[in-house]
Amino acid sequence: MAAAEEPEERSRAAGGCVLVVFAGAGFAGVWAASSTAGVLTVWLAGIGLVWWSVRRTANPAPPPPPERGSDANPQFTVIEDRPGHCTITWHEEVTD
């Protein structure tokens, strides 16, 4: 009897390389059609990547401080839901 073969795990890096090749071919095609359109495409792609990066790393603003005379005590919890990424949960603890 032949041993059952386990499927290979696919690499995320390999998928990234394929995307880079396709994007490079697209940029080359645009650049071949018009150098001005190629430059604009590179600028737009750069702006899009910076925007995407900022949106991924932005943390929500903390809640406003409690009003004077309030017995609420703001508390927060930091949860690391995946390596390198933390989520902050805010809540108020009311004391009598």
pLDDT at 5: 65
pLDDT at 56: 78
pLDDT at residue 26 is higher than 70? yes
pLDDT at 6: 64
**How far is residue 40's CA from residue 13's CA, in Å, rounded to a whole number?**
28
Q: Where are the domains of the chain?
A: 11-58, 60-96
**How far is residue 17's CA from residue 26's CA, in Å, rounded to a whole number?**
14
Condensed to tens digits (0 to 9), the pLDDT of residues 80-96 reads 887 878 888 877 766 65
Residue 89: CB atoms within 10 A of its CB come to 10
Answer for the pair 62, 90: CB distance below 8 angstroms, yes or no.
yes
